[in-house]
Amino acid sequence: MVQRTGSSHRAAPEHTHPDDVPVQTALAALADPVRIALVRELASSADWSRSCGSFDVPVGKAALSHHFTVLRGAGLVEQRDEGPRRVNRLRKEEFDARFPGLLGLVLRGDQ
Amino acid sequence: MVQRTGSSHRAAPEHTHPDDVPVQTALAALADPVRIALVRELASSADWSRSCGSFDVPVGKAALSHHFTVLRGAGLVEQRDEGPRRVNRLRKEEFDARFPGLLGLVLRGDQ
DNA sequence: CCGAGTGTTCGATCCCTGTTGAACACTCTG
DNA sequence: CAGAGTGTTCAACAGGGATCGAACACTCGG
């Protein structure tokens, strides 16, 4: 069996590199409880191991899809299609190179 | 003549120490163009040298007053009454101790 | 004591963002 | 090819935040 992981007929999600993200956009993306939860949960998981629906947040899938769009637009998350689901990866290195320390502040989690 | 600087009959503004500020609040406070402008302009001025009305932002004084309330609530700004006006100080050290690097990211100003 | 200057508060408005349910699109399995 | 699972898009809605003008409070200088 061939592993066609990554070559779907679906439109690939649009990504924004952290280098192209204004500070204000990055801050706004992280100034939301649901997205903070997503980023934290994502940080404590292996890359590409979590599909969008696998997160423990109290919102429907429509809102969830919206939040991932925001995270992508802020250069925080990279997504890839794997069969029927869309798996995620936190862009730690790239984002930290652009905004040193910012991600760390959010992940610290001391309120 | 006596310098009564600081002892007015006006209610002193309520301040929040950065240590008591949640990350989300700090991020939300900085995720606004007007407040970013205020913080930047404040950073390039001497402490207590700027009154609220002396900032170059395109909003009326009602909105301006609101923004300073938000900045105080995020532990970013300290205010003191000097006669008829309220002068400001950016809480660089305290805020940076609580959120290392965050203020620096905003002050960098590379979009 | 009056007036100018400064800042806050209040009410109203507007817009943006987060949310939902429903419909749709795509993938894989039987 | 039907159906289950996953995620996006759409229209609609609600809530919050930013904004303004007006009224008010306070300080200082004539």
**Pairwise CA distance, residues A66 & A61, whole Å:** 9
Residue of A17, A19, A24, A36 best to disrupt the B interface, most CBs of B under 10 A: A24
How many CB atoms sit inside 10 A of residue B13's CB? Answer: 14
Q: Specify the pLDDT at position B7.
A: 55
Q: Does the domain made of B18-108 have the CATH classification 1.10.580.10?
A: no
pLDDT at B85 over 60: yes
Please indicate whether, in this complex, the C-beta atoms of B101 and A106 are within 8 angstroms of each other: no
Instruction: List, in sequence order, every residue forming a beta bridge with B90; answer none if it has no partner.
Output: B77
Give the model confidence (pLDDT) of A5-29 as tens digits. 445 678 899 999 999 999 999 999 9
For residue B11, the Cα-to-chain-centroid distance in whole angstroms is 18
Give the model confidence (pLDDT) of B37-65 as tens digits. 999 999 999 999 999 999 999 999 999 99
Q: What is the dihedral of CA B62, B68, B74, B79, to 10 degrees?
A: -140
How many residues does this entry show for chain A? Answer: 111
Domain definitions of chain B by residue range: 18-108
Q: Does the domain made of A19-108 have the CATH classification 1.10.10.10?
A: yes
**A32 in reach of chain B (CB within 8 A):** yes
Nucleotides in chain D with any atom closer than 7 Å to protein CB: 4-11, 17-22, 25-28
- pLDDT above 90 as % of chain A: 86
**Mean of the pLDDT values across residues B67-91?**
97
Which residues does A28 contact at the CB level (< 8 Å), separation at least 6? Answer: A74, B27, B31
CA of B17 to C1' of D3 (A): 58
Contacts of B108 in chain A (CB under 8 A): 23
Q: Specify the pLDDT at position A11.
A: 86
Please indicate whether, in this complex, the C-beta atoms of A31 and B33 are within 8 angstroms of each other: no
**Pairwise CA distance, residues A62 & A55, whole Å:** 13
